[in-house]
């Protein structure tokens, strides 16, 4: 497991390969599709974003309310393709990391390669366990969105797998290819 201190830099992202296990420590920002739409509206109107985009990692999640004595409730990843319409723009403006689950569009994969970013997969269905890695949480934008508000989370040893790297590696493409090859080899 590779320990990664946030915010990300291209010196770090360029060393990561699809399939690497990583543990993130530092600030990440939660944002789902409604928050992404609002972030792009701010950009369109020339207003500043509620957090620094350079080197930022956005976690596609809408956390559950915290139970008594907890920092945050269950905080599992959301299906990432819902952010595909927004991701290339944010990547080209300095975002370097995304955390979610599932495949991404060719446009997102191209933008990842172009800017030297990385897409990380978190384990779906493990939101309660992932919440244990969150040391603090605060809403930084769009509180009216409830669970979909943008939150700044400070995480420690937050586990992910590199799903798409900036060198062209993609576990969703490469994994399928390798699986089909192994099936073909069995039938020979």
Q: Would you please indicate which residues are annotated as catalytic (active-site) residues? A: 36
User: Rounded distance, CA 134 to CA 25, Å?
Assistant: 9
165 φψ region: left (φ > 0), alpha (ψ -120 to 50), beta (else): beta
**The two three-digit tokens of residue 14, written as one number:** 């360029």
CB 21 within 8 A of CB 40: no
């Amino acid at each position: 497991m590779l320990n990664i201190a946030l915010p990300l830099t291209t010196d770090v992202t360029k060393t990561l390969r699809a399939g690497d296990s990583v543990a993130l420590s530092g600030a990440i920002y939660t944002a789902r599709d409604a928050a992404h739409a609002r972030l792009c509206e701010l950009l369109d109107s020339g207003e500043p974003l509620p957090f620094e985009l350079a080197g930022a990692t956005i976690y596609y999640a809408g956390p559950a309310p915290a139970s008594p004595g907890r920092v945050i409730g269950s905080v599992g990843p959301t299906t990432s393709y819902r952010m595909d319409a927004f991701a290339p723009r944010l990547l080209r403006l300095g975002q370097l990391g995304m955390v979610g689950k599932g495949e991404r569009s060719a446009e997102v994969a191209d933008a990842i390669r172009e800017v030297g970013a990385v897409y990380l997969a978190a384990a779906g269905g493990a939101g309660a366990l992932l919440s244990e890695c969150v040391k603090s949480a605060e809403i930084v934008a769009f509180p009216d969105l409830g669970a979909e508000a943008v939150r700044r989370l400070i995480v420690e040893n937050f586990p992910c797998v590199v799903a798409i790297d900036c060198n062209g590696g993609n576990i969703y493409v490469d994994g399928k290819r390798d699986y089909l090859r192994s099936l073909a080899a069995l039938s020979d």
